Amino acid sequence: MTITDKGAFYTGTYRNLFLELGYDDSEITEKLEKTWTELFYGDADTRIYYPMGEDKGYVLDTGNLDVRSEGMSYGMMMAVQMDKKEEFNRLWNFSKTYMQHTEGRYKDYFAWHCKPDGTRISQGPAPDGEEFFAMALFFASNRWGDGPEPYDYAVQARKILRACVHQGENGVGDPMWDPETKLIKFIPESPFSDPSYHLPHFYELFAKYADECDQSFWNEAAAESRAYLHKACHPVTGLSPEYANFDGTPAPPQRHGDFRHFYSDAYRVAANIALDWEWFHKDRWQVEQSNHIQAFFSEIEVSDYRRYTIEGQPFDELSLHPIGLLATNAMASLAADGPHVNQFVHQFWNTPLRQGVRRYYDNCLYFFSLLALSGRYRMY
């Protein structure tokens, strides 16, 4: 693998690892289109998207039978990357109508999950949704242009980010980024983070598109997130905990569980690091980190993926989302330059979408990896 001096943000060139490894360009495009169709309009055991009425639609968490800000914002990012404006607008209209708060401590945040009919199950937000909503909206604005509210995409994105940074300054609510450390929180009220929420490549772009008064904040947030990931990822295994303190150490067990270990949320870290490297090439550590995590999983069968301590000790508990973990291990190939790059890309190419009850999270990670490895996860 040849590493250029600058990422795609500067060169406008996106690596297509499938093409580099010998797959035909038309075959790659066909796989992307087919996977999109299966996820959005496929059979009952595969699809995760459902149109609703004349102008709405939702992505269903099939394992919990609810609609999450995570999945809705992911769906919007998938749609803008694939140039699917109708599905994007349906997802955004559902999110805006049923999930976004219009007043109170969570004003302009999104309830993190609701029923498929739009009834809120919980009022509180999960910040990974907000950052994906904002980035997808900016991309939509730049790709398609803005329309009348609520399709004035850039205006809507700036409103979300304004709340993320400034909520609580009037004494009501809490910001989603810790003002002192510039690190994203697990939830607005929490004194700790989630390493998989850290998207410095998004923050670099927020620094261009957010309110002018906040652009320096987003530049700082990008730098602090990159530094934070050095501390949250184990220096040998590359594994990170699901929740971590602001100093990168695993956060203590919570009322809803013990998240000190490498499990579902944490799978996204490898993918996020790889995309940041692909877009910006600002942190050479990301190459070695990607090598570490690929080396750790290189001799483990997907069917034997498990929960692990960050030091690499396995639990008896199998992974709930093994296809999602394979997808992110493959996406790490965008940054890795070790001996396992080809292994994971080929293995991922030959693995189909997950079917059945638990397919939602796996297949979201699957589609993002498919986009990234084909050079189609782009900045607009």
Q: Tens digits of per-residue pLDDT, 319-330? A: 999 999 999 999
| 370 contacts 72 by C-beta, under 8 angstroms | no
What whole-number distance in Å separates Cα of residue 252 and Cα of residue 257? 10
Let me know if 63 is exposed, middle or buried by CB neighbors in 10 A (0-12, 13-18, 19+).
middle
What whole-number distance in Å separates Cα of residue 173 and Cα of residue 117? 27
Domains of the chain, by residue range, sit at: 1-42+231-380, 49-147
pLDDT at 134: 99
Of 20, 89, 90, residue with least CA distance to 51: 90
Q: Structurally, what CATH architecture does the domain formed by 1-42+231-380 represent?
A: Alpha/alpha barrel (1.50)
Let me know if 226 is exposed, middle or buried by CB neighbors in 10 A (0-12, 13-18, 19+).
buried
Q: Tokens 């030091």 appear where?
A: 311
Q: Tens digits of per-residue pLDDT, 336-375? A: 999 999 999 999 999 999 999 999 999 999 999 999 999 9
- Rounded average pLDDT per 10-residue block, the chain, 380 residues: 72 98 98 98 98 98 98 99 98 98 98 98 98 99 98 98 97 97 98 98 98 98 98 98 98 92 98 98 98 98 98 98 98 98 98 98 98 98
Tell me which residues are annotated as active site: 70, 265
Evaluate the omega torsion of the peptide bond into residue 188 and state whether it is cis, within 30 degrees of 0: no
What whole-number distance in Å separates Cα of residue 175 and Cα of residue 295? 37
pLDDT at 5: 66
> Read out DSSP for 111-155?
-SEE-TTS-EEE----HHHHHHHHHHHHHHHHHH---STT--HHH
Residue 22 has which token pair?
């010998």
- The 10 Å Cβ neighbour count of residue 29 is 12
